[in-house]
Amino acid sequence: MPKTIFHSSEKSNFILNMTEEQFSKLASRGLAIAMLMTPLFTLVPEITDKATYAFSAGGLVAGGVIAMIIAIIAIMKKYISKRFIIPMGAMLIMELWGVFSLIKGVDLGISFYGFPERGEGLLALIFYFCFFVSASALKRESAVKTVIDGVVGVGLLNSIVGLIQIFSGQLSHYRSVYIDIKANAASGLSMSPLFLAMVLTLSLSAALISFISSEDRKRSIGMLVCAVLFSFVMMFTYSFIGFFGLAFALISAIAAVFALKAPKKKLVGVPCSIAGAAAAIALVFAGAIGNIDSYRLYDGRILWWADGYMRASSSGTFNPDVVDIDDTYDVYMYLNDRTMDVIEHNSLTGTGPDQLAFALIRVSQEDAGKYTDFGDLISSQRGVFDKVYNEYLYTAATRGVTSAIFLVLTVLSAVILGLKAFRRRATAESFTVFILALGGVLVYLIGCSSIPFAPVFWVAAGAACAEIKDSRQQKAEKKAAKKNKA
C-alpha cells in the first residue's frame, strides 16, 4: 500500500510516494528555475532607477526557497548519499561558524541580510547550502543534464542583456568605467562586469562541453552559438577574470574531446569561441564601442570605482597615491595585502558577514555619528573597499579563518567527488559538472562570491557530488516499486 499521513489520500502525499526518478526530474527543473531567479529579479533595477540592486536579493530568496523545499524533500526521502557527508558537514560547520561572526558584526541586520546592494549575509549562505544539498540529491543522469542546461540558460539570459548594454549603453550602470571612460562594459544581470565574467566562465564551459558531447544536431548547434556569444560578451567585462574564464573553458573543451572520446571535428568549438572573443576586441579597436579606440583591462576601475563606489556605495573611492588603479596586478595585490591585515586582527570570527569595509574605516565615533546611512559613511572614506577578489581571503576576513578552512574543505571535497564520479560513470554529464565545480573553485582565487554567481556554482558543485544510479539500479528500483503497489 502507498504511504500516507493520517490516513489521507495517496495524491495528497505525493512527496512520501515520490520515486527517485520523479524527485530527480522535479528537483533538476526546480534548480534550473531557481538559478534564474536572481538574474530575472535584477531586470527591475536595470530597467528603472526607482529600484536598487537590493531588489535582486528577492530573486535569491525566491530561488533559495525553491532549493530549500527540494533539500527538505531530499532529506525526508533519505536521498542524501553517505559520500556527501564530508562536503555537507564541512559547509554546515562553515554556516554555524557564521553565526558567531554575525554576532561580532557592526550591524546585525547587515550580518544577516547582507549589505543592501550586495545581499550576502548569513541568510544568503543558508540558501547556498540548500542549493548545494538539493543538487547533491539528484539520482538520474537526465536530471544532471537539466541542471547543465540551466547553467547555460543563466549565461544566455545574461548575455542577451549584455548585448544591449554593449551596443546601446542602456540597461546598465557600467556605461562608464570611470568619469571620462565610456566603455559600455557588460554586466548582464549579474550586478557587475566581474561577476558576469565569473558566471560566463561556468556557462561557456558548460556550452562547449555540451556541444562536444551532444549527438543531437540541433542541440549541438545551439550550444555552439551560445559558446560564441558567451565568448564575445565575456570580453566586454574588460577583466582578467574574463580572460581566465575563456582560457579555462577552452582548455576544458579540448580535454572533453579526449576524455569523452568525441569526434576530433568537435574541436571546432575552440576556434569559434576564440573568433567570438577576437571579434569583440576588434570592435573596440575599431572605435565602435563607447568613446574608446583601444582594448585594455579595467578591473581596478570597475571593481572599486564603478561598482563599489558609484553603484553600491559599499566602498570609498580609490587612493591613487597607494595603488595604480590601471595596473590589474597592483590592484589585486593591494586588496589582498590589506585584507591579510584585517584577517590578522579578526582571525577568529572575522568582521561580520558582508562587512569587510567597516574594518578599514578610520574615523572617530563622533564623526561617524554624523552619518545616518552606512553607505554615505563608507563612500566618504578614501581607500576603503568592501570586496577582495579572492573568496577564500574574503571568507577568512569576514567570517573568520575557521570558516575559510571549512570552505576550502567543502569545495575541494566536491571537486574530488566529482572526479571520482566521472571516473566511475564516464558520462558527459559527470565530466561537465566536475569541470564546473573545478572552474568555480579556481575562479574564487581571483573573484568573490555574489548572489548572481553563487547559486550557479553551488548547484554545479552539488551535482558533482550526486550519486547517480546506473540502468541496473534503476531497473531494480522500478521492480521494487511495482511490488509495493501490488
Determine the Cα angle at 228 with ends 223 and 232, to 5°. Answer: 145
As a whole-number percent, the residues of the chain with pLDDT over 90 amount to: 85
Q: What does the alpha-carbon distance between residue 56 and residue 191 come to, in Å, rounded to a whole number?
A: 9
Q: What Rg, from alpha-carbon coordinates, does the chain have?
A: 23
> For residue 418, what are the CA distances in angstroms to 125, 269, 431, 458, 468?
22, 24, 8, 13, 11
Determine the Cα angle at 293 with ends 291 and 294, to 5°. Answer: 125
Using a cut of 0.85, tell me whether the model's pTM lies above it: yes
All three cell numbers of 399: 567570517
Q: Is the pLDDT of residue 450 over 90?
A: yes
pLDDT, tens digit (0-9, with 9 covering 90-100), for 467-479? 998 766 666 566 6
pLDDT, tens digit (0-9, with 9 covering 90-100), for 400-431? 999 999 999 999 999 999 999 999 999 999 99
The single residue listed with the C-alpha cell 534548480 is: 31
Please, are residues 396 and 329 in contact by the beta-carbon 8 Å criterion?
Answer: no
Exposure on the CB side of residue 150, measured as CA atoms within 13 A: 29
Q: Is the pLDDT of residue 368 over 70?
A: no
Mean pLDDT across 345-365: 89
CB atoms within 10 A of CB 48: 9
Can you give the pLDDT at residue 49?
Answer: 84
DSSP string, 306-369: IIIIIIS--S----TTT--TT-HHHHHHHHHHHHHHHHHHSTTT-S-TT-GGGGG----HHHHT
pLDDT, tens digit (0-9, with 9 covering 90-100), for 160-210? 999 999 999 999 999 999 999 999 999 999 999 999 999 999 999 999 999
Q: Is the dihedral of CA 126, 130, 131, 136 positive or negative?
A: positive
Is residue 275 very low, low, confident or very high in pLDDT (cuts 50, 70, 90)? very high
Q: Is the pLDDT of residue 104 over 90?
A: no
As a whole-number percent, the residues of the chain with pLDDT over 70 amount to: 92
Can you give the pLDDT at residue 17?
Answer: 76
Distance of CA 14 to the CA centre of its chain: 32
Phi, psi of 182 (to 5 degrees): -95, 105
Q: What does the alpha-carbon distance between residue 152 and residue 200 come to, in Å, rounded to a whole number?
A: 9
- Write out the H or E segment, with its range, that includes residue 176: strand 176-178
Please, are residues 133 and 80 in contact by the beta-carbon 8 Å criterion?
Answer: yes
The single residue listed with the C-alpha cell 553565526 is: 99
pLDDT, tens digit (0-9, with 9 covering 90-100), for 302-337? 999 999 999 999 999 999 999 999 999 999 999 999
Can you give the pLDDT at residue 474?
Answer: 62
**Of residues 411, 403, 406, the one with CA closest to residue 351:** 403
| 355 SS3 class | coil
Q: Is the pLDDT of residue 482 over 80?
A: no
- Amino acid present at 163: L
Can you give the pLDDT at residue 121?
Answer: 96
CB atoms within 10 A of CB 168: 11
Mean pLDDT across 285-313: 96
Q: Is the dihedral of CA 117, 120, 122, 124 positive or negative?
A: positive
pLDDT, tens digit (0-9, with 9 covering 90-100), for 109-161? 999 999 999 999 999 999 999 999 999 999 999 999 999 999 999 999 999 99
Instruction: Among 8-12, 43-47, 233-237, 481-485, name the one with the lowest average pLDDT.
Output: 8-12
- Amino acid present at 368: A
Is residue 486 very low, low, confident or very high in pLDDT (cuts 50, 70, 90)? low
Is residue 18 very low, low, confident or very high in pLDDT (cuts 50, 70, 90)? confident
Determine the Cα angle at 293 with ends 48 and 182, to 5°. Answer: 20
> How does the average pLDDT of the chain come out, rounded?
93
Can you give the pLDDT at residue 52?
Answer: 85
DSSP string, 183-222: -----TTSSSHHHHHHHHHHHHHHHHHHHHH---HHHHHH
Q: What does the alpha-carbon distance between residue 129 and residue 64 come to, in Å, rounded to a whole number?
A: 9
Mean pLDDT across 241-254: 98
